[in-house]
């Protein structure tokens, strides 16, 4: 399966401009792409003004994702600000060409940036299947908390949609590999470039990592682009059979 990550320069709090720009970027990706991954808050940037920027479930941005998925024949995913039952969520959505969709609300809200004061944390880890690939989603800061994404012999691909700052670039690079190695899975991390409205710089480094911790594909720093790479569930299954480290994992439960 070919996965394509989109690494955009997000225009601060300008939905229409961002969706237009993303549409152009996505239109140039390889035609055989089956999953397209967008960054965190891809339509606004990592803004702490949810009252101004929220959308109701299945409205403007959701409809755009559905349209892109239907047109391109791929699944497309990323997070944006939604409001439901009077709560704001940093919600990750995956939509398929058939109109089927899955959603995940960010569990670990970025308290140093005040996200925890404005948004409601998710309370459900999800795993779903798309074209025989079992997928577990993360959003940005979730990457720092390995217990949340710890595999339970239930997924093949961990996707992280991020607005990860350049100042902590090395952490991003290390944690993507760590999650792949410890869970014996593929990891796909999509990050933005450019400077946001708070003055934080982002340099991209979007990448796809193998279950061996090897970089399959990576984006250049500070360049708007797409990044594509192939993953193989056959190779993953053979590796897990030869090196069944997951059978020795500790059993645990999450206290939510």
| Residues with catalytic roles | 40, 106, 140
Q: 167-172 — which CB contacts under 8 Å span 24+ positions?
A: 167/200, 167/201, 169/203, 169/205, 171/144, 172/143, 172/205
DSSP label of 247: G
The residue assigned the tokens 């934080």 is 200
Q: Are 156 and 150 in contact (CB under 8 A)?
A: no
Gap between the Cα atoms of 167 and 51, Å rounded: 28
DSSP count for the chain of H helices, then E strands: 7, 14
73 contact partners, CB below 8 Å, separation of at least 6: 97
Q: Which residue has the tokens 């939510």?
A: 256
Torsion angle of C-alpha atoms 196, 18, 90, 146, degrees rounded to 10: -70
Phi and psi at 48, nearest 5°, equal -105, 40
Beta carbons within 8 Å of 33's beta carbon, 6+ residues apart: 2, 3, 4, 72, 74, 228
């Amino acid at each position: 399966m070919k996965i394509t990550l989109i690494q955009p320069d997000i225009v601060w709090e300008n939905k229409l401009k961002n969706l237009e720009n993303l549409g152009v970027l996505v239109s140039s990706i390889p035609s055989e792409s089956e999953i397209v991954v967008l960054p965190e808050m891809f339509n606004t940037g990592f803004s702490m003004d949810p009252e101004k920027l929220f959308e109701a479930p299945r409205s403007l941005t959701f409809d755009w994702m559905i349209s892109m998925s239907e047109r391109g024949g791929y699944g497309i995913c990323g997070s944006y600000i939604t409001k439901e039952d009077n709560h704001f969520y940093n919600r990750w959505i995956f939509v398929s060409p058939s109109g089927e969709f899955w959603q995940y609300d960010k569990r670990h809200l970025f308290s140093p940036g005040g996200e925890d004061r404005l948004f409601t944390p998710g309370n459900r880890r999800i795993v779903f299947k798309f074209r025989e690939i079992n997928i577990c989603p993360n959003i940005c800061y979730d990457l720092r908390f390995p217990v949340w994404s710890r595999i339970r012999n239930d997924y093949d691909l961990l996707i992280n949609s991020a607005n990860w700052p350049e100042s902590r670039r090395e952490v991003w690079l290390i944690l993507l590999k760590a999650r792949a190695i410890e869970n014996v899975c593929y990891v796909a991390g999509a990050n933005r470039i450019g400077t946001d409205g708070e003055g934080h710089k982002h340099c991209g480094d979007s990448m796809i990592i193998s279950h061996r911790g090897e970089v399959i594909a990576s984006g250049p720093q500070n360049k708007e682009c797409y990044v594509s790479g192939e993953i193989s569930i056959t190779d993953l299954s053979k590796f897990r059979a030869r090196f069944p480290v997951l059978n020795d994992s500790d059993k645990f439960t999450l206290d939510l």
